[in-house]
Amino acid sequence: MQGIKTLVSTSEGWRDWIVLPQGKCIHELFATQAEKTPESTAIVCGSEVLTYGELDRRSNQLAHYLLSRGVGPEAIVGLCVERSPEMVVGLLGIIKAGAAYLPLDPGYPRERLGFMLADSGASVVVTQETLQTKLSSEAGDLICLDTEWHLIETEKSRPPAVTVRPENLVYVIYTSGSTGTPKGVMITHAGTLCSAAAGAPSQLAEDNASAH
């Protein structure tokens, strides 16, 4: 398999080689890891711990819920959630539904968030009840992870049958706008993997190894 072979950081510095396979999407790489180590810890936030299996199941349920609300491939979905396990569930759920996420920092002014939503064309926002007042009328359909979870968790736990390719969008991020109007930058799954590899010394390699 041709992939991008890159060094990863360890406690002893840049040391271990992994291969980021080409032709894969972000959520597919996550699903592979979740299948290999479902009981391993994926997220720790205070006293809350999520395993890979739990994170995979919850994000699959959210993906199905998003699809039932009209979200689909290449749609842009806002993600306005405090830093928490819910943020990761939201991010993965959006991607698994075939959509791209638009990160909306709750600390931004309401006007900036409104501009980003209107300019990107995002008609759905995944958020939390306490953050609804941060969002303007441009937010459209709001899905609150905390107050709607009793509905979300009734969805199927297996991955939805959605075709996503490396050239599809995975997220949209806006520039600061310090020199003018903020501009949205569209990033694909393939572009994200290349960026991950560029963060460390890397080389293209023909390798049959898989990511560990």
Of 162, 157, 163, 111, the C-alpha closest to 134 is 111
Instruction: Return all residues near 79 (Cβ < 8 A) that are at least 6 apart.
Output: 87, 90, 91, 94, 101, 102, 103, 104, 125, 126, 127
Given a cut of 60, whether residue 66 has pLDDT beyond it is: yes
Given a cut of 80, whether residue 67 has pLDDT beyond it is: yes
* 191 pLDDT tier (thresholds 50, 70, 90): low
Per-residue pLDDT tens digits for 30-59: 788 888 888 988 888 888 888 999 999 999
What domains, with CATH codes, occur in the chain?
Answer: 2-206 (3.40.50.980)
Average pLDDT over the chain, rounded to an integer: 79
C-alpha to C-alpha distance for 171 and 15, rounded to whole angstroms: 30
Instruction: Please tell me the least confidently modeled range out of 19-23, 53-57, 146-150.
Output: 19-23
Residue with tokens 């041709």: 2
> Which pLDDT score is estimated for 117?
93
User: For the chain, what is the total number of helices (H) and then of strands (E)?
Assistant: 6, 11
